[in-house]
């Protein structure tokens, strides 16, 4: 049984049923029933046309459910009057499913869960494990999301930016349980890039590839977080870097810069440096200037301050922090780093310890705690 093939076909089949008149929740349930049937039948009798088989069986499952629901006889009469669908064209249908799962009426958490379920083909159990929540909790979240979008019909193109933000959220969840969400986000973004010609889709794909290339070097053998400047760059995946740069260059050549392209350009400059000392911080500052111009994001301004500190000195980096909310995530850690670079270990140690107390993850908390301990040991020595 080719599980990867089933996961790839799932969004296409759901989309065909939705286009033929099924509500989203009913379509998704029917496709899940068809997938169960496929797991039972295919090992002994594999179909020549897996997609056509799934469409046919899922449609029959949907009609059976519609017939059993006497309160929906009017809709049953409507759908039974339509021809049984064949595989059909997948591109527009699947693209609509991306937009549906990223509908603005959903919370970001619900949009991510629904995307992983309907577009990614993951089971509720897998998604729950990835988010470290009980399966019943995740099932309720997905069910509410399905009900929310079940009656949605698109009268105009969906918002690509919203879809990209959902995929970016999936990527940033990283890895947990038995599901590699970063890898899953890359797979889904590749699929989206194959279906829509959009420079920011390419920009996001490039950003993911370039960040993912550094993954083997991000943690040490003991699980400790390894900062970018200290990473063993021989561990970086040069194949992913080359692909990410190629995708980015093609996107930038269209001269329609967007925020994901700008972020990918920063990542490409880091990837291009053979050592931390060779990093072109001046260019990175210029790209952050573009990103701030595009988004006016406080996070972009925070990252720009780090780059300024490397390019023009830590005092200028600290000056670039002025006006930013100190409660911004990582603000205290960045301030600590710049104070250390500026030769103020007392302030840096205090701020590292403060940042550790509000760190969003255990590895980051441990890293910041060690930074504070290192400076305090130096001060006592």
The predicted structure's pLDDT at residue 203: 98
Specify the pTM: 0.79
The predicted structure's pLDDT at residue 178: 61
159 confidence band (pLDDT: 50, 70, 90): confident
Residue with the larger pLDDT of the pair 249 and 38? 249
The predicted structure's pLDDT at residue 99: 85
Output the CA angle 366-371-373, nearest 5 degrees. Answer: 90
**Does the structure show a pLDDT above 60 at 80?**
no
**Does the structure show a pLDDT above 90 at 36?**
no
Per-residue three-class SS string for the chain? CCHHHHHHHHHHHHHHHHHCCCCHHHHHHHHHHHHHHHHHHCCCCCCCCHHHHHHHHHHHHHHHHHHHCHHHHHHHHHHHCCCCCCCCCCHHHHHHHHHHHCCCCCCHHHHHHHHHHHHCCCCHHHHHHHHCCCHHHHHHHHHHHHHHHCCCCCCCCCCHHHHHHHHHHHHHCCEECCEEHHHHHHHHHHHHHHHCCCHHHHHHHHHHHHHHHCHHHCECCCCCECCHHHCCHHHCCHHHHHHHHHHHHHHHCCCCCCHHHHHHHHHHHHHHCCCHHHCCHHHHHHHHHHHHHHHCCHHHHHHHHHHHHHHHCHHHHHHHCCCCCCCCCCHHHHHHHHHHHCCCHHHHHHHHHHHHHCCCCHHHHHHHHHHHHHHHHHHHC
Gap between the Cα atoms of 375 and 381, Å rounded: 10
The predicted structure's pLDDT at residue 258: 96
For residues 130-146, average pLDDT: 88
For residues 295-323, average pLDDT: 96
């Amino acid at each position: 049984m080719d599980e990867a093939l089933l996961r790839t076909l799932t969004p296409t089949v759901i989309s065909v049923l939705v286009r033929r008149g099924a509500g989203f929740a009913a379509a998704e349930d029917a496709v899940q029933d068809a997938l169960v049937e496929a797991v039972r039948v295919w090992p002994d009798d594999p179909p020549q046309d897996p997609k056509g088989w799934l469409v046919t069986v899922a449609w029959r499952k949907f009609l059976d459910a519609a017939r059993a629901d006497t309160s929906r006889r009017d809709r049953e009469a409507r759908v039974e009057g339509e021809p049984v669908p064949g595989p059909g064209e997948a591109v527009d249908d699947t693209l609509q499913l991306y937009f549906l799962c990223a509908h603005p009426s959903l919370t970001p958490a619900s949009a991510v869960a629904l995307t992983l379920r309907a577009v990614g083909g993951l089971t509720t159990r897998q998604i729950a494990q990835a988010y470290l929540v009980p399966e019943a909790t995740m099932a309720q979240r997905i069910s509410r999301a399905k009900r929310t979008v079940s009656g949605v019909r698109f009268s105009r193109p969906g918002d690509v930016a919203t879809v990209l933000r959902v995929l970016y959220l999936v990527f940033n969840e990283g890895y947990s349980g038995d599901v590699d969400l970063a890898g899953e986000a890359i797979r889904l973004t590749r699929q989206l890039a194959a279906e829509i010609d959009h420079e920011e889709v390419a920009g996001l794909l490039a950003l993911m590839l370039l960040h993912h290339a550094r993954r083997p070097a991000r943690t040490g053998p003991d699980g400790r977080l390894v900062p970018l400047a200290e990473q063993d760059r021989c561990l970086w995946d040069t194949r992913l870097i080359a692909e990410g740069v190629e995708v980015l260059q093609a996107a930038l050549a269209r001269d329609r810069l967007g925020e994901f392209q700008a972020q990918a350009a920063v990542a490409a400059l880091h990837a291009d440096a053979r050592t931390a000392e060779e990093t072109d911080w001046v260019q990175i500052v210029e790209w952050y200037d573009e990103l701030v111009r595009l988004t006016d994001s406080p996070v972009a301004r925070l990252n720009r301050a780090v780059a300024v500190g490397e390019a023009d000195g830590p005092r200028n980096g600290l000056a670039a922090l002025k006006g930013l909310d100190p409660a911004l995530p990582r603000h205290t850690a960045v301030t600590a780093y710049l104070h250390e670079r500026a030769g103020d270990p007392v302030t840096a140690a205090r701020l590292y310890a403060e940042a550790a107390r509000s760190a969003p993850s255990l590895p980051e908390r441990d890293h910041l705690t060690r930074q504070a301990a290192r400076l305090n040991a130096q001060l006592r020595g």
